[in-house]
Amino acid sequence: MKTKFVFAVALLAAMGAFSLPVSAMLPALDSQGAALPTLAPMIEKTSPAVVNIATRGRVRVQDNPLMQDPFFRRFFGVPDAPRERPTQSLGSGVVVDAAKGYVLTNNHVIDKADEITVTLRDGRSLSAKVVGRDPEADVAVIQVPAQNLTALPLADSDKLRVGDFVVAIGNPFGLGQTVTSGIVSALGRTGLGIEGYENFIQTDASINPGNSGGALVNLRGELVGINTAILAPGGGNVGIGFAIPTNMARDIMRQLVTFGEVKRGRLGVAMQDLTPELAKAFNIKEPSGAIVARVEKESPAAKAGLEEGDVVVSVNGNPVRSAAEVRNTVGLLRVGDKVALGVVRDGKPRTVTVQLGQPSQPARADMGELHPRLAGATLGPIENDSPLRGQGMAVLDVEPGSRAWNAGLRKDDLILSINRQPVRNLEELNRAVKSARRLLLNIRRGGGGLFLVIQ
């Protein structure tokens, strides 16, 4: 027991000696007058910049479709029920600009919120407004009145190393501000399916529900990440948490503050990681980079001369190790920006400069915006693994009781044509329904097909 205690003190002392400046480490004394390492001075300095966020909103109640039938309700005497219910959620945020009152948080913390209340460490509650949000990267910026606020300095997250000590500050389970510590377990985590753009810091500092949007800081008290998600197979914390790096959050925040949104430029390619086998086949010495698997016709990449089989090894002079890194880097650029891609073609290096174009059509679309008789249906592309991919559009959702629902559309239907015109994308679908009084839909449902007439 004594050995474990001595080892723990030695480890903490090492943390203080190598990670904290002397000014940030004011040691306490034990009963014998010896100095004890502590993170308290740093926490006391940074915690006022981490805030609690409470939201209120309303969502539509999804009940049984029979309850939407007025004849059923009248026959069985079913009373009218509210079509909406109030919602509330708790999360965290970080003050990053005290002069302007900007608070950085996760998009999912304030999503669908009608009211946002920010509670400071000193007990003050302030009403906040949304400056901008980016669902793809799960980043949002809100603003509170700039009155005696404390902001956290932003560190260069690219300088983080696995093994660096970090501290997570947030509001787990609505308990109030809570501090946990750990290390950086991994960097550049992607492919988790949590967000559209992923480049996570992984940490074993405890992150729980309510910590979302809170601060991940280094031992200098600088913000290195925004706590976002946990991997919890059993429903609780198992020491695997994820944070958005500050460099990524900073770039997104600048666009949100300036434009209110992130309007990402389009490159127009599909890429995959360069494996050792592919590197050998393409005569690449180092298996690091991304190979261009497909170039869309008439896309910015095609116009710039990028070809299938090109291996992208750098973006704007910065080396890239995977397709996800290319996507994340380009995803922070806007329409009209130029990006220099360092590629290897036929074993020879070259540079291809691409001017990013307008983003492609949205992955999802509200059909009510295209035709009022289809209101309540949400459409998107057919899944990649379907043999009908590229031959129609998928019904992603249908709101019970809506006009689309009453017309017979159901979730997972595949619309192949409208008025005998193929609808392989939203552009074709828009042309097919434009000015049409009657809609004849050719639908694939399950293993069969049918026609629907909507008048």
Residue of 47, 92, 134, 138 with catalytic role: 138
Measure the CA angle with vertex 39, ends 35 and 44; round to 5°.
120
The answer to whether the CB of 385 falls within 8 A of the CB of 379 is no
DSSP alpha helix (H) spans, 136-245: none
The stretch 77-81 carries a mean pLDDT of: 59
Taking the whole predicted model, whether its pTM rises above 0.85 is answered as no
d(Cα 120, Cα 313) in Å, to the nearest integer? 45
What three-state secondary structure class fits 234? coil
Q: What is the pLDDT of residue 21?
A: 46
Q: How confident is the model at residue 90 (pLDDT cuts 50, 70, 90)?
A: confident
d(Cα 218, Cα 223) in Å, to the nearest integer? 7
Measure the CA angle with vertex 315, ends 192 and 292; round to 5°.
70
d(Cα 206, Cα 233) in Å, to the nearest integer? 15
**Domains present along the chain, CATH in parentheses:** 2-38 (no CATH), 50-142 (2.40.10.10), 157-248 (2.40.10.10), 269-355 (2.30.42.10), 365-454 (2.30.42.10)
The stretch 58-67 carries a mean pLDDT of: 55
Q: Which two tokens stand for residue 99?
A: 């002069």
Query: Looking at the DSSP assignment, which residues form a beta bridge with residue 377?
Result: 398
Residue 260, amino acid: G
Nearest by Cα to 442 from 402, 411, 409, 401: 409
What three-state secondary structure class fits 243? strand
Residue of 47, 157, 185, 212 with catalytic role: 212
9, pLDDT greater than 50: no
- The question of whether 111 is a catalytic residue gets the answer no
**Over the stretch 226-258, which tens digit does the pLDDT of each residue have?**
999 887 666 566 778 899 999 999 989 998 998
137, pLDDT greater than 80: yes
160: number of CA atoms within 13 Å, CB side? 35
432: number of CA atoms within 13 Å, CB side? 23
- The question of whether 212 is a catalytic residue gets the answer yes
d(Cα 316, Cα 326) in Å, to the nearest integer? 10
- The question of whether 108 is a catalytic residue gets the answer yes
Q: Which two tokens stand for residue 290?
A: 């991304």
Residue 202, amino acid: Q
Residue of 89, 108, 204, 371 with catalytic role: 108
d(Cα 5, Cα 160) in Å, to the nearest integer? 29
392, pLDDT greater than 50: yes
Q: CA end-to-end span of the chain, whole Å? A: 80
Nearest by Cα to 392 from 414, 371, 366: 414
